[in-house]
Amino acid sequence: MSSNEHIEGEILFESENHKFIWLGADSKQKAGVIQTNQYLIINNGKGILLDPGGVHLFSRVVSVASRFIDLEHIEAIFFSHQDPDVSSGIALWLGVTPARIYVSGLWLRFLPHFGVIDQERIEAIEDDGGEMTIGSGAKLKFIPSHFLHSTGNFSLYDETSGILFSGDIGAAAFKEGEQYLYVEDFDTHLSRMEGFHKRYMTNNRACKDWVNRVSKYSVSMVAPQHGAVLKEDQVQKFFSWMKDLQCGTDLLDSLS
């Protein structure tokens, strides 16, 4: 992906009435601003946005999403956690869509700080997760991923496509002009993931719990909020790495 390229989205999965779409990358990303991925799932003409991003990305994500769906047909928005790069555009999205917002119940009291006073359209996800349907009944699972890195954190599994949206789990940091959509070589890509995970993920116990939960599903791809999409044999390589990862409080002594 060249530095002068503005990617206008790519369909990661498509069947007769279901799509899972990556909503592109910003070629004008400034130094020091973290790269983020936004995703859109469409089933039978109805859509759900996944971590649509911060205020500064709003106009670009609106533009790209509108190529695939009318904003009036976005019936839900999922926030994996509360970080501003995930959710600071929430008030803007409530203004241009009829969507209901799905977010951990832990973060409801913080929403007024993002400009959301009326919480009539907010759906609190309980700690043990749950599921919802969109369109013609496509099932989406909220999978607990607490402490990776947020205390109230969820992954989302799309049963139809087999794609796991993992939020910050699987995140990678690219240098300017380096970005690619799919991981081709896990060992090479690891150098872009390892530092973030060791510092931001809480500990190995939380990592193992998450891997055990998501391994119950048939995962075809892992789509993170930062970095690149893992698919095929890269998925199991990533799960194995996460299950053994020493991170966060496991490494506390090395920070003193």
In a domain, 111, yes or no: yes
Say what the pLDDT of residue 30 is: 57
In a domain, 1, yes or no: no
In a domain, 4, yes or no: no
pLDDT class for 84, splitting at 50, 70, 90? confident
In a domain, 3, yes or no: no
**pLDDT of 177 strictly over 50:** yes
| pTM: predicted TM-score of the whole model, two decimal places | 0.93
Q: Count up the domains in the chain and report the number.
A: 1
Answer with the residue of higher pLDDT: 115 or 193. Answer: 193
Is residue 223 within 8 Å of 166, Cβ to Cβ? yes
In a domain, 188, yes or no: yes
Distance (Å, whole) CA 24 – CA 39: 9
Give the CATH number for residue 210: 3.60.15.10
Among 69-83, 107-121, 237-251, whose mean pLDDT is lowest?
A: 107-121
CA nearest to 92, candidates 55, 123, 128, 119: 55
Is residue 209 within 8 Å of 165, Cβ to Cβ? no
Query: Residue 219, Cβ neighbours under 10 Å: how many?
Result: 20
In a domain, 96, yes or no: yes
Say what the pLDDT of residue 112 is: 83
Cα Rg of the chain (Å, integer):
17
Say what the pLDDT of residue 48 is: 98
In a domain, 192, yes or no: yes
**Which residues form the domain of 133?**
10-255
**pLDDT of 221 strictly over 70:** yes
Is residue 115 within 8 Å of 109, Cβ to Cβ? no
In a domain, 2, yes or no: no
**pLDDT of 180 strictly over 60:** yes
